[in-house]
Amino acid sequence: MKMWSGRFRQPLDPGFESWQRSFPFDKQLLNEELAASAAYAKALAGIGILSPAELEQITNALRDIGTDAQKDPALLDDEESEDVHHFVERQVVTRIGEVGYKLHSGRSRNEQITTDLRLYIRAQIDATLTGIAGLMETFVRRATEAGERTMPSYTHLQRAEPVLVAHWLLAYFEMFARDADRLTDCRKRLNVSPLGSGAIAGSTLPLDRHDIARTLEFDAPTANSMDATSDRDFAIEFLQALSVLGIHLSRWSEELIIFCSQEFGFVKLPESYSTGSSAMPQKQNPDALELIRAKSARLIGNASAVTINMKGLPLAYNKDLQETQQPIFDSAITALAMLQHATGFMREVQFDFAVMAAAAQSHFMNAFAAATYLVGKGVPFRRAHEIIGAAVRLCMDKGCELQALPLSELQSLNPAFEQDFYDAIQLNAVLDCHDVIGGTARARVKKALAEAGGRIAKLKGEAHAHA
């Protein structure tokens, strides 16, 4: 039986009937729907709408639907059910008869779907946080292994200054830490219970909404029924947070794709995460990275689809909201897989530290430090910049680096140069002169690495607190 056929005289157009159904995708919410329904049944019993015996019947039926669907997913091949809410109602009634219809007393699918989505996203956030923590751990391990190895850093993709490889890796650690933080924040705001909001104006039954919230481990009931039944802010926040995570993973992929090219040669692709070419026998391609870069576009697309869907909706529920589901499922699943493969790749990838170190010591990347040396000798920075610029010019004509210029030549540019200049522009000195919080000085990076462990432990604690 349909959930709404009473006032209709004509059947639905068969094509439209199947087109408007959401069960083909919202069957993914079965467990959430069962949990929410069990909590709702308990509340109905609390106000005497269900007798204790009826509550037990309904609760058992809900439990059995879950176990049966797990045993045999074919249970969900159901052409009749409009959506997961309809499916559960039909299943309950099949199992226990007419009393099953009592479950929907005072209830609306409008509050059910938003409850299910909150439960679903909450679980996905916890899984994503665990995935992010694993990825961050891998970055920290690789950064620790890299020790004091160096590489060039780039601005405009032109060589800028040498940095520790660990400093580079920890840049991504910070991005992922913010991603985790955004998801944790989203979780806090989404964790309220819409049940009891009814179709729009609030339930017609005096339900104990606090009790329902507690049963489902929500922090509180939602405060306004019109908002609650049409709100998808939590979905937008989740999808946007995943988009930003996707942007980070995509930038990382892009960088490694550049670094593994023959032109750079900083990175040796792991065979376990590459494929070959059907035509060119010599090829090893960075497919894992390319797919991660591409999947991030899906995350951004899904976030855009839901964001745009919401912007024109009058209060409260509109069927447009059904269209928010698939982007949510797709992004949740896509992001988890991206994290899994990024972590696997990062575990396996090899760095060619010799090539990186050679690159870190060429193309005048100590020029900023050289100018800073002159500042230390009392030369105003703008002048120092020009003097080192002139020295670089000289080197370019000669085909050498700054350290190869004899002191006499340097002193002809400016008398402030002394013998200690050569020590000041050596690789380690160049690194260590960036001795500020967040800088690439060796001691600073060591400290950042030491702190990273504690930050991951805290994140894991947060993810597992809910598991």
Active site residues: 156, 277
Q: Give the bridge partners for 351, in sequence order.
A: 267
> Are the beta carbons of 143 and 166 closer than 8 angstroms?
yes
Least distance to ligand ARG, CB of residue 110, Å: 5
How does DSSP assign 109-157, residue by residue? HHHHHHHHHHHHHHHHHHHHHHHHHHHHHHHHHHHHHHTT-EEEEEETT
Q: Angle at which helices 325-348 and 109-146 pack, to 10 degrees? A: 10
Least distance to ligand ARG, CB of residue 16, Å: 14
Q: Quick one: how far is CA 431 from the chain centroid?
A: 32
Residue closer to ligand ARG by CB (options 6, 406) is 6
Question: Rounded distance, CA 393 to CA 4, Å?
Answer: 81
Least distance to ligand ARG, CB of residue 26, Å: 6
Exposed e or buried b per residue across 238-251, where buried means at least 16 C-beta atoms within 10 angstroms of its C-beta: bbbbbbbbbbbbbe
Q: Residue 421: which residues within 8 A CB-CB, separation 6 or more?
A: 370, 373, 407, 410
Residues that bind ligand ARG (CB under 6 A): 22, 26, 83, 109-110, 113, 317, 319, 321-322, 325
Residue closer to ligand ARG by CB (options 322, 372) is 322
Residue closer to ligand ARG by CB (options 199, 247) is 199
Residue closer to ligand ARG by CB (options 269, 321) is 321
Short-list 445, 423, 421, CA closest to 434: 445
Least distance to ligand ARG, CB of residue 12, Å: 13
Residue closer to ligand ARG by CB (options 109, 209) is 109
> Are the beta carbons of 431 and 150 closer than 8 angstroms?
yes
Least distance to ligand ARG, CB of residue 107, Å: 11
Q: Angle at which helices 287-310 and 233-259 pack, to 10 degrees? A: 160
Least distance to ligand ARG, CB of residue 343, Å: 33
> Are the beta carbons of 203 and 231 closer than 8 angstroms?
no
Gap between the terminal Cα atoms of the chain: 38
Residue closer to ligand ARG by CB (options 227, 401) is 227
Least distance to ligand ARG, CB of residue 79, Å: 16
Residue closer to ligand ARG by CB (options 54, 330) is 330
* SS3 (DSSP) at 16: helix
Q: Beta 350-351 vs 267-268: how paired, if at all? A: antiparallel
Helix%, strand%, coil% for the chain, nearest 5:
70, 5, 25
> Are the beta carbons of 414 and 421 closer than 8 angstroms?
no
Side-chain half-sphere CA neighbours of 315 within 13 A: 9
The DSSP 8-state label assigned to residue 200 in this structure reads T
**Residue type for position 320:** D
Question: Rounded distance, CA 333 to CA 344, Å?
Answer: 17
Residue closer to ligand ARG by CB (options 96, 113) is 113
Least distance to ligand ARG, CB of residue 103, Å: 16
Least distance to ligand ARG, CB of residue 451, Å: 44
Residue closer to ligand ARG by CB (options 57, 322) is 322
Before 316, cis peptide (omega within 30)?
yes
